Chains A and B, each alone.
Chain A
Amino acid sequence: MSNAAWFQETFSRIQSELAKVIVGQEEIVRNVLVGLAANGHVLLEGMPGLGKTLTVRSLAQCLSLNFSRIQFTPDMMPADVTGTNIFVQTPEGGRNFEFRHGPIFANIVLADEINRATPKTQSALLEAMQERSVTIGGKRMQLDEPFLVMATQNPIEQEGTYSLPEAQLDRFFFKLLVPDPTKADLAEVVKRTTGTIEPQVQPVATKEEILRMRHVAREVPIAESVLDFGLNLIVATRPNESKVPAVQKYLRYGSSPRGAQCLVTAARIFALLDGRFNVSKEDLKQASLPVLRHRIGLNFEAEADSITQDKIISDVILGVERQDRDPIRV
């Protein structure tokens, strides 16, 4: 079996297993798995009770990975996330400092309601997310691979929350908006969760397979012109360089270079999932919304006009597509 076929097969295997417990939300599940395959963290935004936590936990279960959940609250301290050295008495009667691992030391970390934590605590995640390591008391500790942070936040409750700083947001590979389930999905959810039989997720993939998936995804080739298209999407989000009127009017800042990296990586995976061996512009467009929506900053005018990031990104895609014309005009 070729790498690409294996990738697709593994991906669909995990997806199918998750579908046993997650009703609807196929897009969210798929994108979460893309984030996993891309070695990227995912920010899930949605109302409570939409299955965000269940999704993450189920994912950990079907991958046979360590899972930990951190419920962020305003009084939470960084040490509550990373762990801390505690003073312990050894059996021999001696006294010593012993490091007690925080919940960050897991393969899949669910950072629930991340925006409830203070910036100080939020920033405790920064190093872990980017460097895959934690430094405590001058000692740097490497996190186990694969390491995936799945953060959730509630878009409605703003009281007592702290918006994530741009640097923090930029470290998330995807930001996924969890939609309300349809009536049919809702009926299925009710049936499954109120009956006597509770579906169980079985491990269907190993840690090694996840790491291999990451490797395979990075080998998907991308043509210069396609890459150029992707970079045009990124550049078009910069208010001072963009030719898209909505960007000039409603954005404070555009995507960072990390956005470009994430865009191309995600597009590679989308290409493989589509059964192709090359990245297309369609893949880039498909990746644009989850990759860029948290990387662009709306200004006050946009807030006033109820303009969303998704709307701006759609305009950006249209603008870039308009410039990308067929070179043969016949």
Chain B
Amino acid sequence: MTPVLESLTLIIESVPQILMGFGLTLQLLFLSGILGLILAILLLLMRISGSAYLSAPAMVYIYVFRGTPILVQIFIIYHGLAQFEAIRESIFWAILREPFGCGVLALTLNTGAYVSEILRGGVLGVERGLLEAGAALGLSKRHRFIHITTPIAVRLAIPAYSNDVISLMKSTALVSTITLLDMMGYARIVYAETYAPYEVFTSLMVIYLLMTWIIQRAFGLFERRMSRHIRQ
């Protein structure tokens, strides 16, 4: 076989092995994506509550989790917390004992910090005039938030949010460092067996690119739908 053909064969052969981790990658993405979004909304509400007791802790949290590498966060949660006997004997150990629990937790905490800032950008982007109009119509503060601010803020936040979902998907690859066999985890095993980094990681790259394309496309459709009233 020529070297090129040999490489192509290896690329094609490694795809099904890497895809054994596809399910786990998806689970990590969806679970931490949804939990992270909930966390982000909570953080956002704390940030815009107007109370320093609520907004200050949220700011510190966001600063810490945006200001440190996610790999460090994963290692602290997985390796670091496990060192404390108090944690090993607490109810949290049920989650922290499992690498999957640690992975979801780290990704959730990290993405929550980023997304809350994205949502805040959306909220701040809502035109004041619209809110004043709402007030003039006699809508309560709560109603204005639900019926005016939220839909507009969501639409404004979509492009940045879709970026964050893509970056969350890419971050899932880091959990392969804590024994989880996601696509990256399987790719590294195949690599250790074949010593063919170029072929194995090229296949992996193509799969991630396809996932990125699907996410972009889905958000593109969502954005169109959310903007239907302002288009021609």
Q: Does A associate with B in a complex?
A: no
Chain B positions near chain A (C-beta within 8 angstroms)? none
